[in-house]
Amino acid sequence: MFSRKIFLVIICLFVGLNLFASNSLKRDEKHAPILSVEELNQLYDRGVKYWETGNGRSSFYALDSLRKIDLTTENANIKSKGMIYIAKCFYSQKNFRYTINYLNLALVFGKNFLDFDTRISIYDMMITCHHATKNSSQETYFAQLKKSITDSIQTAKMQFQVDSLKQALEVQKTTPVATNENENQTAPQATTNGTNNDNSNYLLIIAIAVVTIGILLFMLFRKGEGGKIGKAKPVEIRKIDATPNKGSNALIEKIAKVELVFIRAEILGEYGNKKTVVKIISDYNTQLPLIIKNLDEAITTNDNEPIITALSYLKPYLTAFGMSTTMAMLNEVEAESTTEKTTRLLSRVFQIRNHIRRAHDETNSLMEVLG
C-alpha cells in the first residue's frame, strides 16, 4: 500500500514537471523576439567579423542563423547577402557542395533583389562548382544564365551609346545659326568661337566613328560566334496541334512544381501526357540555338523582313508554352514592321529574345522534373 502511494506521487510529480516545462516553452515562443532588419544587419556584420578574425565556427553559426528566420520582403536582401558570404567562405576552402547549397539559398532569398553584377558572380561560382563536381548539365545551365545577362547588358550599352549619339546629332542640328547681333563681335572672339565649334565638331565626328567601329566589331564577333555552329537556313518547325485534355490535372500539378515565370503550367499541361510535353520541350531546345542565330543575323541586316521571318519560327512554341505576353509583343512587332523603321522595333525584339532564352532555362528545369 505504501509503495503504491509513492508510485502515485512520482507519477504526479512527473506530469506536473512536464506541464510546467510545456507552459514555459509556450511562454518563451510567445515572447520570442522578432529581429528587425537593423538587427539582422548587425548579426551579419558580427558573422563577417568572426570570419575575418579567424573564428570560422562562430562566423558560420551567426550567418547561418539568418537562414532560419522567416522570409519577408524587408529581410530578403540581408538573408541572401548572408548566404552569399557563407558560400564564398566554403568556396575559398574548395568545399563546392556546401557552396552550391548556400548559393541556391541566396538565389531563392534574393530572387527579386539581386543586381546583375551579383548574379554574374554567383553564376561564375556555380559554373566552377558544378564543373568540379562533374555536373555538366548544371554547369551548362548556369553558363547560359550568365551569357543571357551579359548579352542583355552589352545590348543595352550599345543601344545607350547609339541613342546618345543620335541625341547629340539632333542637338547639333538644332543649334541656332549666328544672327546679325553676333556679327559685330571682335575678330579675336569670332576666331575663338569658330575654333571651339570646330573642335566640338571634330570631337563629335571622332565619337561617332569610334562607336560605329565598336558596333561593327561587335557584329563581326557575334557573326564569328555564330559561324562556330555552322551557317544554315532556318529549319521549318512543325506546327504543334494543341489538343486540350481536361484530364491532365496530374501533369499540370507536376509541371507546376517547377518555379515558372514565362511558361504557364496550365497551358502546357493541357497536352495531356508527359510524352507529348517532353517532345515539345525537346524540339524547342533543339531549334532554339538556330532560331537565335538566325534572329541575330537578321538584326544585323537592319531590315524588318528577315527579322519577322526569324521571329515567325517561335510562334508554335510561344503558343504551346502559353507565353501570351511574348506572343502579343511579337504580333505588335509584326504589325508595325510594314510602317516602322527597324530601330523602332529592336527594343521589343531584344525583349522577345530574352524571353525565349529565359524560357529555355525553365524548360531545362521542367525536363529534370518530367524525366
CATH number at residue 120: 1.25.40.10
- What is the share, in percent, of the chain residues with pLDDT greater than 70? 65
DSSP string over 279-303? HHHHHHHHHHHHHHHHHHHHHHTT-
* Most confident segment among 12-16, 187-191, 200-204, 315-319: 315-319
Does residue 156 belong to any structural domain of this protein?
Answer: no
Contacts 24+ apart (CB under 8 A), 325-330: 325/355, 326/262, 326/352, 326/355, 326/356, 326/359, 329/355
Does residue 196 belong to any structural domain of this protein?
Answer: no
Does residue 300 belong to any structural domain of this protein?
Answer: yes
Does residue 96 belong to any structural domain of this protein?
Answer: yes
In the structure grid, which three cell numbers stand for residue 175, read together?
543649334
**Least confident segment among 109-118, 177-186, 331-340:** 177-186
In the structure grid, which three cell numbers stand for residue 212, read together?
560605329
What's the pLDDT at 347?
A: 86
Does residue 14 belong to any structural domain of this protein?
Answer: no
Question: For the chain, how many structural domains are there in total?
Answer: 2
What's the pLDDT at 45?
A: 93
User: What distance lies between CA 90 and its chain's CA centroid?
Assistant: 24
Q: Single out the residue in 146, 176, 211 at which a domain terminates.
A: 146
Q: How confident is the model at residue 356 (pLDDT cuts 50, 70, 90)?
A: very high
Pair 360, 284: CB distance under 8 Å: yes
> How far is the C-alpha of 295 from the C-alpha of 298, rounded, in Å?
5
Handedness of CA 335, 336, 342, 348 (dihedral sign): negative
Does residue 278 belong to any structural domain of this protein?
Answer: yes
Q: Single out the residue in 98, 126, 146 at which a domain terminates.
A: 146
342 CB neighbour count, 10 Å cutoff = 17
Q: Single out the residue in 82, 111, 146 at which a domain terminates.
A: 146
What's the pLDDT at 169?
A: 65
**Least confident segment among 21-30, 144-153, 225-234, 266-275:** 225-234
Calculate the alpha carbon distances from 111 to 118, 129, 183, 346 in Å: 11, 20, 63, 28
What's the pLDDT at 333?
A: 92
DSSP reduced 3-state for 209: helix
- What is the share, in percent, of the chain residues with pLDDT greater than 90? 20
Note the pLDDT tens digit of each residue in 278-305: 899 999 998 888 888 888 888 887 788 9
Residues whose CB is less than 8 angstroms from the CB of residue 353 and which lie 6 or more positions away in sequence, other chains included: 292, 295
Is a pLDDT exceeding 80 seen at residue 363?
yes
| Domain, as residue range, for 328 | 249-370
| DSSP percent split of the chain into helix, strand, coil, nearest 5 | 80, 0, 20
Does residue 3 belong to any structural domain of this protein?
Answer: no
240 CB neighbour count, 10 Å cutoff = 18
What's the pLDDT at 330?
A: 93
Q: How confident is the model at residue 214 (pLDDT cuts 50, 70, 90)?
A: low
**Least confident segment among 75-84, 108-117, 190-199:** 190-199
> How far is the C-alpha of 359 from the C-alpha of 188, rounded, in Å?
65
> How far is the C-alpha of 280 from the C-alpha of 270, rounded, in Å?
12
Does residue 113 belong to any structural domain of this protein?
Answer: yes
